[in-house]
Structure 1
């Protein structure tokens, strides 16, 4: 914090912005995951860096490390999100009238 003289129009200031609302944080997290996926597709896992993802996402490396732990954690988050999307679609197909063999074929499992 940087203290400022009392009695002026200024207050103590901090270098951190106020915390994000949960919905804003989730949107931002998904945006970072989208960008990380783009970098991964372009460069491959080995040549993708947290710094490059942070730069493209206009985020700090500290944010990425705080949210995901490390590069492996970031890409595990992408895999989990994609797996959840597939699960939702697959569940929708299985709840419908489609024969199981057609569902498996559509997902490349037959």
Structure 2
């Protein structure tokens, strides 16, 4: 009786195994310290096979960044429906963001820290994803501002109603930049702090940011003279 032949895994499955191993090692030890020998061993494949599929350590790292960025973007967008109020969209998006980064801490480390320290072209890939998030959040802020301003524009506020000025687009972009930056820092802190849940992290940021945005959208903007 001949030897039983084991079924070979499809290329796509092997590539995911390599990427899984690479993300773990890059996230835990850093790009420079992680070796291709270790990645191959953890993936359960030979080192030549890693090079055959993914060409080089640089290409492997780039593939990790693209996979983790795509997974994070899809996780956030899957929880945000266009028919939701803007405030709810932001809340659900933040919850999805913190849930994903908590469930994939090595992937978040690769995106948030390792990619930036290795320079181009890795930093540019992460910057493109970040810009997409900022544009997304800016549109939510503008939509919320329009929703708040609409009753005043219609004159539905009754006697003593206040005029709520329109929020300039560049200001919404600046607020979105600040919010995304805060979310990034908070995700790193939450992952390093035992007992902090994704729900708690999202609520912390909503309480910090959305309360202030609510005042701004009601025309109660802070200014140095007021202080």
Task: Report the TM-score range of the alignment, normalised by the length of the smaller protein.
Answer: 0.5 to 0.7
TM-score, length-scaled by structure 1: 0.66
Q: Would the aligned equivalents of 2:25 and 2:34 in 1 still touch at CA under 8 Å?
A: yes
Query: How many residues in Structure 1 have an aligned counterpart in Structure 2?
Result: 93
What pairs with 1:1-110 in structure 2 (closer than 5 Å)? Answer: 24-96=10-82, 97=84, 99=86, 102=90, 106=94, 107=97, 109=180
The two structures have a TM-score, normalised by structure 2, of 0.35
Distance in 2 between residues matched to 1:65 and 1:41, nearest whole Å: 20
* Alpha-carbon spacing, 1:92–1:78, altered in 2? closer, same or farther (3 Å): same
Cα offset, 1:87, TM superposition: 2.2
Larger radius of gyration: 2
Q: Are the counterparts in 2 of residues 93 and 103 from structure 1 also a CA contact under 8 Å?
A: no
Q: Which has the higher helix share?
A: 2
Residues 52 and 94 from structure 1, CA distance in 2 versus in 1: closer, same or farther, beyond 3 angstroms? same
Structure 2 regions of 5+ residues with no counterpart? 1-5, 98-178, 183-227
Distance between the aligned counterparts of 2:7 and 2:79, measured in 1?
Answer: 42
Q: Structure 1: any 5+ residue segments left out of the alignment?
A: 1-16
